Amino acid sequence: MIAPVISKVPQPTVTVLDYGSGNVRSAVRALERAGAAVLLSSRPEDVLNADGLVVPGVGAFATVMKELKRVDGLRMIGRRVAGGRAVLAICVGLQILFDDGVEHGNREPGMGEWPGTVELLDAPVVPHMGWNTVDVPQGSTLFAGVENERFYFVHSYGVQKWDFDVAQPRMKPPLVTWSEHGSRFIAAVENGPLCATQFHPEKSGDAGARLLRNWVDSLRPRSA
């Protein structure tokens, strides 16, 4: 009797970029539960060769930019995006992808992947800390199945204006998810291989776990 052949699909590999950002262990564990084989590293071979890269971010915009530059993280993120390789950025990781950030009157250049300035939230109380709903656009892959759920935010700054140039007919505009705390701000962006969330999916319970699983599943070969 011939035994059946069992096909085992390998786990997607994910590197969490290790540049000194605090509290990344919860992100590592959440990604592992989402089905990824996870490595915490800043080594170029680990960052560039993984199926997916996660860029965490805690603290000030300028500090995160400085520490990313220290490990050559900006160049490696840029190379992945240019090559169509998946990147997921979280919290300040989302913020540094925009043109610039203004904190305490100081303006710091960001990566400029998306237009916009990170500024103090126009709200009666900051930081914005706790659970909040999001306004998800149609066609979202990241939020599939959790469009009406709440996610956990911890931030005082955000992008409150979106001025993406849609005059280019061959350029597909990113999908932008919004939330509100005093005023509307960008809660997530999906832009081909580059995705980012202002909230912390790793701290967002079942909804965050589903979102991370959606992202990890997107890393699998389409034939799997």
Could you list the active site residues? Answer: 91, 200, 202
Q: Residue 53: how many CB atoms within 10 A of its CB?
A: 26
Give me 142's structure tokens: 């990241």
CA distances from 35 to 45, 92, 120, 220 (A): 21, 24, 36, 10
In 3D, which of 23, 79, 77 has the Cα closest to residue 54? 77
Q: Which helix (H) or strand (E) holds 32?
A: helix 25-33
Asked if residues 150 and 132 have their Cβ atoms less than 8 Å apart, the reply is yes
Parallel/antiparallel/unpaired status of strands 157-159 and 114-120: antiparallel
State how far the Cα of 33 lies from the Cα of 47, in Å rounded to an integer.
20
Q: Which amino acid is residue 75, in one-letter code? A: R
Beta strands per DSSP E along the chain: 13-17, 37-41, 52-55, 86-90, 98-103, 106-109, 114-120, 128-133, 150-155, 157-159, 175-181, 183-191, 194-197
In 3D, which of 177, 211, 219 has the Cα closest to residue 30? 211
